[in-house]
Structure 1
């Protein structure tokens, strides 16, 4: 399993994100993923720069690591034709190191354009049409498209990379696996469910990247780590069905007012001990994931974490994962 680093736009500004990207590459991470938000989950996180602008800078600050959006919603804030253009440009700038990760989105980020927030089944319809449009533009030539939700009129990407941009889609259950595996090159999920990998592999002959994500909060002081994880990541406890519906940071604050530090510490590895991180990663490779991106919680706490990752954590994860 390849080990990645998350450039979390909700907890760091653009300059720091680019600096962290270069540091993570030097530390030895295999790939880097970047969230694409308009809002942070909670006010305490305090950031949300434009992911695509930052990605452009990251392509020039790094040389080796694979890059991915984790994830972009190509249906409301962005029209899928614009996402295709952005992805092709990043692929060219990065020297063919980019994968376009897409998902159905959250109310938190998409409501800002004033189109309301549709139910889950409509969001999946939107995403399926968007992926078809993006893939059609990656084919080259002019594209006309008339779907239930989107229209494209004589669109064309004038700067296409030699290597087609892979498309990865976020899934959560059997229905979304069946819907998107035929349309995508790779799978994204945040829970280590073996049935997701099995279902995806059945439609890809087992030869497809499957990317997971694991939040951690490393700190030399465990109590400080638990406090920080609770402060900035208690939103995680709501589950994605809830998280997708809430409209802004105040709603996440209210929804998680009864989540305790103990609740967060039970779900997220916190503190200086690396064994809990390795233990939390194991279910992903046991489930069949090929890639796992770590999230170090706390925008101001990346340098120490990356040093520990280079010296101790990455070797421990690779040894445990058989690399």
Structure 2
């Protein structure tokens, strides 16, 4: 079964306007809605960075069936894992079966300014994430948790408002090591579209499969989620121009990973030509052609497609996509 989701652009819109878009997504027939958990946005001018957990609570209260979650949160620096477990325990208790915790190893743009911490190498970030997952699941399933890890500790900790069922943890990965962990320890896997095809076919998906095999137990409901960067409009030039708002996505990992200042991120993105800004996006005004391009990802095995539109008029995108593209996707892929 194909799941169609909406990516709420937290870095682009004020929280109240973004909430309207999330509500409209449910009305337009989307199945899920995910929001980034950024302390700082990708750009300084007109940027936004609402607190994702407060926003998810508001979205849950204003919708009835929309599945919602973070894409992605880093439960290891700004937050102690026990606080993340408490927050998602509350969300899971309030909105049972509708909440997903999407996590990643983090970026300096979010973690350094808010903590003043020295940004560690990947090895430590990955180790912290694994330990956080272990601790959070213990807190959701056990009564009194005394935990002594390398990075985190608790002393007879209890989550009093537990979710009715274990909150699914989806792991975002851009490389082989974390992809394998996502399969072995996660309930789902998250990545983004627009990369070289061999990254999905030779690195990410094979390692997710290897991790699932290593888990030693079947996961029939395992979700392979991908954020689809789509700029769709009936006006092709408008769809192309809309990608300027998210030019930062076209920066390479090497160009942006160590950037900790949104003003500097904005400067780097603004320097990119339109052709490069649009390179990470499927730009189209033809629903049939767009569905064909999206279908290449479905054929790879992705079953949860979360669509991120770059333009300022998100209501227009949700309406047009819901009317012209989503029905084609469902008819073709189930």
Question: What is the TM-score of this pair, normalised by structure 1?
Answer: 0.92
- 1:98 corresponds in structure 2 to 99
Q: Decide which moves more: 158-167 or 236-245.
A: 236-245
- 1:285 corresponds in structure 2 to 298
1:302 is displaced (CA, Å) by 1.2
Q: 2:53, 2:87 within 8 Å by CA — same for their partners in 1? A: yes
RMSD: 1.9
2:209 is the alignment partner of 1:201: yes
2-side partners of 1:257 and 1:7: how far apart? 22
Residues 241 and 165 of structure 1: is their aligned pair in 2 closer, same or farther, counting only changes over 3 Å? farther
Gaps of 5+ in 1: none
Residues 275 and 266 of structure 1: is their aligned pair in 2 closer, same or farther, counting only changes over 3 Å? farther
Q: Decide which moves more: 178-187 or 307-316.
A: 178-187
1:263 is displaced (CA, Å) by 1.8
1-side partners of 2:154 and 2:65: how far apart? 35
Q: Decide which moves more: 247-256 or 300-309.
A: 247-256
Question: What is the TM-score of this pair, normalised by structure 2?
Answer: 0.89
Q: 2:250, 2:279 within 8 Å by CA — same for their partners in 1? A: no
1:43 is displaced (CA, Å) by 2.6
Q: Pairwise mapping of residues 33-72 of structure 1 onto structure 2 (< 5 A)?
A: 33-44=34-45, 46-72=47-73
1:294 to 290, 307, 310: 307
1:100 is displaced (CA, Å) by 0.6
1:129 is displaced (CA, Å) by 0.9
Q: Pairwise mapping of residues 229-308 of structure 1 onto structure 2 (< 5 A)?
A: 229-230=243-244, 232-270=245-283, 272-298=285-311, 300-308=312-320
Give the secondary-structure state (helix, strand or coil) at the position aligned to 1:256: helix
Gaps of 5+ in 2: 213-217
- 1:176 corresponds in structure 2 to 178
Q: Residues 276-301 of structure 1, C-alpha deviation per residue, up to 9 Å, x if partnerless?
A: 53244223212211101001113x41
1:57 is displaced (CA, Å) by 0.4
Q: 2:249, 2:280 within 8 Å by CA — same for their partners in 1? A: no
2-side partners of 1:242 and 1:129: how far apart? 29
